[in-house]
């Protein structure tokens, strides 16, 4: 007996077509080319500061 199990079934052909289409739109290794990682991680490199409202 399985408790709390959820069965999710996706139509395989539409999923495969969608995935192939996304790979055509965004070539491999280009996914992150538009992100400025220095700017995106600036907050992670600094000491947290207390906020007063």
* Span 6-43, pLDDT tens digits: 667 778 898 899 989 988 887 777 777 777 878 878 87
Residue 40 φ then ψ, to 5°: -70, -25
Distances from the Cα of 19 to the Cαs of 12, 50, 51, 52, in angstroms? 10, 44, 43, 46
SS (H, E, C) 9-42: CCCHHHHHHHHHHHHHHCCCCCCCCCCCHHHHCH
Question: What is the reported pTM?
Answer: 0.39
The confidence score (pLDDT) of residue 45 equals 73
């Amino acid at each position: 007996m399985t408790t709390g199990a959820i069965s999710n079934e996706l139509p395989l052909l539409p999923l495969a077509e969608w995935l192939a289409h996304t790979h055509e739109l965004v070539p491999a290794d280009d996914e992150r080319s538009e992100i400025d990682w220095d700017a995106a991680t600036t907050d992670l490199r600094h000491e947290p500061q207390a906020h007063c409202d």
